[in-house]
Structure 1
Amino acid sequence: MHPSHFSAVLLFALFASIVFGITMRDTPRKMVRYGAYCFALFAGAAIVLSWLMFLIAK
């Protein structure tokens, strides 16, 4: 199995967000919310940075 760069970034974001959610918050509800927030930030940053690199390369 050879994931694309984007799916590898999303997989990293998923696992990092799980770890951040578990280690940074106390209650399960806060863990899930913070994990989802971190995942959204990771994925959003990946998309924004990839577009910036695309525009710089032109």
Structure 2
Amino acid sequence: MFAPSHFFAVLLFATFASVVFGITQRSTTKAMVRYGLYCWVMFVGAVIVASWVMWLIRR
């Protein structure tokens, strides 16, 4: 049975959500790719920052 880690699940969600956001929010292919990558970086960055904040709060 496949049991992904929480971080892998976040990466998977960020990938699919960013693809959808890129396709639905921009009109040209170049803009779609750039916006999708921007969203992906923001998703993953926010998760990393939130995890550090939770680690500091718990400590």
With the shorter chain as reference, the TM-score category is over 0.9
* Equivalent position amino acid for 1:48 in 2: V
Q: Taking structure 1 as the reference length, what is the TM-score of the superposition?
A: 0.98
Displaced runs of 4+ in structure 1, greater than 2 A? none
Distance 2:55 2:10 in 1: 17
Q: Partner residue of 1:18?
A: 19
Distance 1:34 1:45 in 2: 16
Q: Can you list the C-alpha shifts for 1:2-58, whole angstroms capped at 9, x where unaligned?
A: 110011011000000000000000001100000000000000000000000011011
Distance 2:46 2:11 in 1: 11
Q: Partner residue of 1:50?
A: 51
Return 5+ residue gaps in structure 2 as ranges.
none
Distance 2:13 2:55 in 1: 21
Distance 1:14 1:7 in 2: 10
Distance 2:43 2:26 in 1: 18
